[in-house]
A and B are shown apart, each in its own frame.
Chain A
């Protein structure tokens, strides 16, 4: 077997262990928030998922730059895998946010600038996947995807910047909220530790998924090559 198999296996186990610990911390270590109660516990995974979603798209941006510079196939695989994983985490972030928003804001969804831009960001990466699907030539697909990953990621900060001019309802727990924010709270140190640990855990989950996804892609390509060799023999 390959060495990377062993690495992936160890990573899988470590990730599973970390997730268990993080879940335990969220439910037993972190104190219950005074005004919002138990629903506030969704905050730890919400922040972690949203952070990983953004980080994954940044990885795609960097992978796109490196791919265009070097033309190495691996970077295309990483960019593609990162978008797929990033979208999953983005949806998790939105879903967990909705669950919290229902009791805290009394609505599942509001047309708040922060929520809206977050969704637009997700749509950029849905478009990324559709673009890949619509292109047959693998070389061209890799190039176009890299370019779109770069253009898309540059658009996201501008969008975030443009909405900063407006007031947002979304609380900014780390760093202090604006006047219009609703549902913000003061973090005690067990809360902060739990949040940081969740963010770390989710980052490891991301890396684990990325490694496995790239490995899967590699294996699929090997199978494809073997098929071609069998048929031509």
Chain B
């Protein structure tokens, strides 16, 4: 169902103009405008409905509280498992967000609209990915202080914030690709965690180790390799998703 002419598609709010002048700079500018248009669309839709963020937030809080009961946390145990709880919370609520962000597009038929837009397909990926990343970060920005208070731990250390940035970036990077595939399958809401969680294990391992090391105030030498792993994972998976996304949308 390839569109015969690209101009016929529904005009999206804030749809970028086509690159008027050739040249690398103009092309890069047009590309960025396309990415930010997709991102802006997601943010505007979320700002009006507040469906996704509120669901992710309440869910995250519930997970934090349930862990407290499920693991029978006393003070020592709390300190030992805090990094794990933090990341399981981030990963689960992130899955919720990723699922919604693409199933909404499909249910309302706006995915076709996006595909009709005369922009590079990878711009759609980056727009979606940045949106998902931003939602995860907003949730973390609220959860981290709450977590610090409830668990009495310095979660807001600057380096831990870097870990959160890198970890959620990798998760959103590969998650957006897999969510765009899962949305087409019959049991789609169930599909995404099954596809995503085993693939995202390295980012989870590295993030938990890095956060845990920081909370235990270990030496930088011990923690730095986990940072390298996080950065490596982010770069590799965003590159792979960037290259593969074209094939996902090919109709």
Contact = CB atoms under 8 A, between A and B. Distances in A.
A152 B188 CA distance: 19
A134 B195 CA distance: 12
Given A147-B244, A151-B244, A154-B236, 9 more contacts: A68-B244, A127-B198, A131-B191, A134-B185, A136-B186, A143-B247, A148-B178, A155-B198, A155-B200
Contact of B199 (A151, A162, A165): A151
A16 interface: no
A226 interface: no
B225 interface: yes
A166 to B, nearest CB: 9
Interface of A: 68, 117, 120-121, 123-124, 127, 130-131, 134-136, 140, 143-144, 146-148, 150-152, 154-155, 158-159, 161-163, 165
Contacts of B198: 120-121, 123-124, 127, 152, 155
A140 B249 CA distance: 9
Pairs of residues from A and B, 10 with the lowest C-beta to C-beta distance, nearest first? A134-B185, A158-B202, A124-B198, A155-B199, A123-B198, A134-B186, A147-B244, A144-B181, A127-B194, A120-B198
A135 B187 CA distance: 9
Given A130-B194, A152-B199, A158-B202, A135 B240 contact: no
Contacts of B194: 127, 130
Contact of A159 (B185, B201, B225): B201
A45 B202 CA distance: 29
A130 B191 contact: yes
Contact of A162 (B181, B200, B229, B244): B229
Contacts of B191: 130-131, 134
Contact of A154 (B184, B195, B225, B240): B240
Contacts, number: 81
A143 B250 contact: yes
B150 to A, nearest CB: 28
Contacts of A136: 186
B232 interface: yes
B233 interface: yes
B236 A162 contact: no
Contacts of A131: 181-182, 185, 191, 195
A158 B184 contact: no
Contacts of B188: 134
A163 B225 CA distance: 12
Contact of B233 (A117, A130, A146, A158): A158
Contacts of A117: 201
Contacts of A162: 202, 205-206, 229
